[in-house]
Amino acid sequence: MRHFFLAFIVFLAWSVFAIWYFTSDATSAIASFFKAEEKEIGMQIDSLAIKKRQDSIADRKLAIFDSISREKNLEINTARLYAFNEKNEVLFIFDTIYLKKNKDSVFYKFLDKDYIQEIAKYLKTNKNKSLSIHSEYSAGEDFTTPNLGQKRGQFIQNKLLEAGVNRKFISIKSVIKELTFNERNEYYGGITFQIETLSKEKLEALEKSRTISRTIYPIFTFSTIYANKELKDFAIELRAIMEDYPEKKVQIIGHTDNIGSSIDNYEMGLKYAKQVRRYLINTEKLDKDRLKASSMGQENPIDVNTTAEGRNKNRRIEFLIE
């Protein structure tokens, strides 16, 4: 009986141990299972979150692209400033240039490069190259003298002069064309550059060229003139000319209409010329010894004096650089 009882005790002990071992192993297995499931679910959740973030980034990029496309619109995407050589091969392409109705400035945006600095660098490096600025204007714009095509070309020319380009290698060709301005009075394009290789003969002819003539229209009053944008812009050009031709001197000639006596008009023209000279010396700091004021009065009209428009054209300042 005693042996039976001892065997029963041993049996119970092993049974308890077996039950404990099985329960512990099953719990561990179950825990491992759920942990693996949780990890897999977590990975799936992370994957979904990453995909959602990627989709969100892609959506934002698309929205930004659409926004830029809408902002630039088709006109801006196709507006280019081209520089061609004499074979009509493209040397430079710049984005994006545009004109404003009745404005003599030239505007640009979305440019990846400064076109003025690029062209100036090219011309200063290639001494046998010249630049022709082809500048457009429309018959539907305001009438000005010179026309807006010429003035827009002069705007670019002055920028190039400020960048150190020699004026004698720049010319302007105004082109009248039907320009369709948008609702903001903007026209994209309108300017092209033509770059030419100069022959030895042309280079020599440029060096020998003697007289340079310019006519400008400051704001005239009965007793004085005001330095408007045209005069200020020309002062930039004149400075470059005087630097390029240190031996040349500048005559500033005042012209009037024929209203009043010829003596009065002569004196009025001289007064205007002296005021322009004073402005160039005091404000623009040009060499006074190379600037001379004189008058032609009413003696050399370029238009009739029987209309207000003609008289306005005759009241002018002429510059002779020789």
Bigger pLDDT: 148 vs 58: 148
Beta strands in the chain (DSSP E): 81-84, 90-94, 97-100, 107-108, 129-137, 170-176, 186-188, 191-197, 212-216, 219-220, 225-226, 250-255, 291-297, 316-321
| 2 pLDDT tier (thresholds 50, 70, 90) | low
- Calculate the average pLDDT of the chain: 78
In sign, the C-alpha dihedral spanning 17, 19, 21, 27 is negative
In angstroms, the first-to-last Cα distance of the chain is 145
* Residues linked to residue 130 through DSSP beta bridges, in sequence order: 196
pLDDT at 19: 57
Average confidence (pLDDT) over 75-84: 70
- Model confidence pLDDT, tens digit, residues 31-75: 454 455 455 545 554 554 444 444 443 344 333 333 333 343 434
Percent of the chain at pLDDT exceeding 90: 37
pLDDT at 45: 46
The third-level CATH classification (topology) of the domain covering 78-206 is 60s Ribosomal Protein L30; Chain: A; (3.30.1330)
pLDDT at 12: 59
pLDDT at 115: 86
Residue 223: name the closest of 271, 181, 191, 183 by CA: 271
Q: How far is Cα 36 from Cα 179, in angstroms, rounded to an integer?
A: 72
| Pairing state between β 191-197 and 129-137 | antiparallel
Kindly list the domain boundaries of the chain, sorted by start residue.
78-206, 210-321
**CATH fold match for the domains 78-206 and 210-321:** yes
Average confidence (pLDDT) over 303-308: 86
- Model confidence pLDDT, tens digit, residues 167-177: 788 999 999 99
Indicate if the pLDDT at residue 8 is higher than 70.
Answer: no
- Model confidence pLDDT, tens digit, residues 149-163: 999 998 898 888 888
pLDDT at 102: 94
210-321 maps to CATH 3.30.70.260:
no
Indicate if the pLDDT at residue 111 is higher than 60.
Answer: no
| 16 pLDDT tier (thresholds 50, 70, 90) | low
pLDDT at 209: 64
- Model confidence pLDDT, tens digit, residues 249-275: 999 999 999 999 989 999 999 999 999
Percent helix, percent strand, percent coil in the chain, to nearest 5: 50, 20, 30
pLDDT at 245: 83
| Pairing state between β 97-100 and 186-188 | antiparallel
